[in-house]
Amino acid sequence: MLTTSALSADAATALTGEELHALMARLYPICRSITGDGVRQTLDVVREYLPGLVVHEVPSGTPALDWTVPFEWNIRDAWVKNAAGVRVIDFRAHNLHVLQYSQPKHGWVARQELEEHLFSLPEQPDLIPYRTSYYQPNWGFCLSHHQRAQLQDEYYEVGIDSTLDPAGSLTYGELLLPGSSEEEVLLSCHCCHPSLANDNLSGMVVAVGLARWLAQVPRRYTYRFVFAPGTIGSIVWLSRNPAAVARIRHGLVLSLLGGEGGFTYKKSRRATAEIDRTVALMLRDMAVPHQVVDFIPYGYDERQYCSPGFNLPVGCLSRTPYAQFPEYHTSADNLAFVQPDVLAESLLLTQEVLAALDANCRYQNRHPYGEPELGRRGLYSPVGGASAHPDEQLALLWVLNLSDGQHSLLDIAERARLPFAQVQRAADRLLAHDLLILLPD
């Protein structure tokens, strides 16, 4: 069983913040999308860190709930050249320059027609926006508004060397870390964005760090990691895994965990699930800036896991939420925007959350009629009237009082307003002195 106290000493991390950032730097140049070789290359790198990762290929055209797996998109090059043959927009310079899922295109176009296929940000004129057209046939380019203002020629040569393959597939990765119980904790992140560091390479590298750490420690729950393209990936996973879905007891979507700002936890649709209470408690215990917000059916893949037919207890953990920081979905979401110490803090919080989930259980007080004599067991100060550690003794009394078979350690920590780790230590001490009975789940 995981213990929160084991984390507090040195965070017990398998990867440091610097190592997480180095992994991000390897993944950043890859042009990912909801299908294609970019996803495969990304998962190949992830598998170097997580050898047990299983990569699944789901053929294009496969029904998935109300959706269908799309054609596989790959791109080799894209450009806009002026009459002198100079690339004025160049995919090789930055992979955000092409509209994701752009159809193949080659030929000369008038500037007026080209303008209809250009995307820029007048309010952020130095930045390249990230834009997609996954399910509507289109082609286009993204560029800074300053670049766009310089396009004054009458005609431009457009080239998009891409393919949309009906015989392709959608790719996702899955890692299962068995515990003593078959009940599962789901950790999900999306792997479809191109060169965007916070959204969502940060979620991916924190998931890798979390899986590396979990693989090294005893576990009560079974932990399932899903690295899948946004929306369609989680829908495909849900459609293919009804048995696993039935075993999910807790879950988190990990996203936007590398930018500055306090944490944001978006509750599951259930609102009071154990995961919702645990994340809120760990945020309180870590004393970090944070907000806890209610579920809305918009955002990341939590809205698929929390759709009414599944209604899984899955929340979303991030820092500054999507669309609430100026770098969001632009070329400014780069490697410099994400700092190693921020990644390390995000990893530590997720570790604390999982450790608390894994350790949360119910006990029965073996001496419920009056307090048992703690002093003769060495659990209470031999001198009455003062205590060097009053909270430690108070935690013992709270655990004894609420260990009636109905209250979990989470319940006790919430009601006593004590850190979960302190309550867990108290329970461990009382159990060691045969004052408690561990009850089955």
Per-residue pLDDT tens for 317-332? 999 999 999 999 999 9
Tell whether the model's pLDDT for residue 386 goes beyond 70: no
Q: How far apart are CA 177 and CA 173, in angstroms?
A: 14
In the chain, domain spans: 4-69+169-359, 73-165, 362-438
Tell whether the model's pLDDT for residue 2 goes beyond 80: no
Residue 28 has a pLDDT of: 98
Residue 381 has a pLDDT of: 66
The CATH number of 73-165 is which of 3.20.20.370, 3.50.30.90, 3.40.50.920, 3.40.50.1220? 3.50.30.90
- Report, as an integer, the average pLDDT of 258-287: 97
Decide if 398 contacts 416 (C-beta within 8 A): yes
Q: What is the pLDDT of residues 198-246, one digit of tens each?
A: 999 999 999 999 999 999 999 999 999 999 999 999 999 999 999 999 9
Decide if 194 contacts 38 (C-beta within 8 A): yes
Residue 441 has a pLDDT of: 80
Percent of the chain with pLDDT over 70: 95
Helix (H), strand (E) at residue 62: none
pLDDT band at 305 (very low <50, low <70, confident <90, very high): very high
Closest to 94 (Cα-Cα) out of 138, 46, 147 = 147
Residue with tokens 């760090």: 209
- Residue 117 annotated as binding site: no
**Cα 429 from chain centre:** 34
Cα angle, residue 98 at apex, residues 96 and 103 outer, rounded to 5°: 150
How many C-beta neighbours within 10 Å does residue 167 have? Answer: 9
Decide if 178 contacts 247 (C-beta within 8 A): no
Closest to 195 (Cα-Cα) out of 337, 408, 298 = 337
Q: What Cα–Cα distance (Å) separates residue 56 from each residue in 35, 155, 300?
A: 12, 44, 21
Residue 82 CB partners (closer than 8 Å, separation 6+): 88, 153, 156, 157
Q: What Cα–Cα distance (Å) separates residue 92 from each residue in 95, 96, 156?
A: 6, 10, 18
Asked if 4-69+169-359 and 73-165 have one fold, the answer is no
Tell whether the model's pLDDT for residue 384 goes beyond 80: no
- Residue 94 annotated as binding site: no
**Cα 247 from chain centre:** 20
pLDDT band at 266 (very low <50, low <70, confident <90, very high): very high
Residue 371 CB partners (closer than 8 Å, separation 6+): 397, 400
Residue 391 has a pLDDT of: 83
How many C-beta neighbours within 10 Å does residue 274 have? Answer: 17
Q: How far apart are CA 314 and CA 301, in angstroms?
A: 9
- Report, as an integer, the average pLDDT of 400-406: 97
Residue 4 has a pLDDT of: 52
Write down the CATH number for the domain with range 362-438: 1.10.10.10
- Residue 190 annotated as binding site: no
Q: How far apart are CA 117 and CA 436, in angstroms?
A: 69
How many C-beta neighbours within 10 Å does residue 224 have? Answer: 21
Tell whether the model's pLDDT for residue 8 goes beyond 60: no
Tell whether the model's pLDDT for residue 382 goes beyond 80: no
Residue 295 has a pLDDT of: 98
Residue with tokens 């920590």: 413
Decide if 283 contacts 290 (C-beta within 8 A): yes
Mean pLDDT of the chain: 95
**Cα 262 from chain centre:** 16
Q: Pairing mode, if any, of strands 118-119 and 141-142?
A: parallel
Question: What pTM does this model have?
Answer: 0.95
Residue 390 has a pLDDT of: 74
How many C-beta neighbours within 10 Å does residue 166 have? Answer: 10
Decide if 5 contacts 421 (C-beta within 8 A): yes
Write 387-392 long-range contacts (CB < 8 A, 24+). 391/418, 391/422, 392/422, 392/425, 392/426
Residue 383 has a pLDDT of: 47
Q: What is the pLDDT of residues 37-56, one digit of tens each?
A: 999 999 999 999 999 999 99
Tell whether the model's pLDDT for residue 11 goes beyond 80: no
Residue 380 has a pLDDT of: 80
Q: Which amino acid is at 348?
A: L
Decide if 97 contacts 148 (C-beta within 8 A): no
* CATH fold for domain 4-69+169-359: Aminopeptidase (3.40.630)
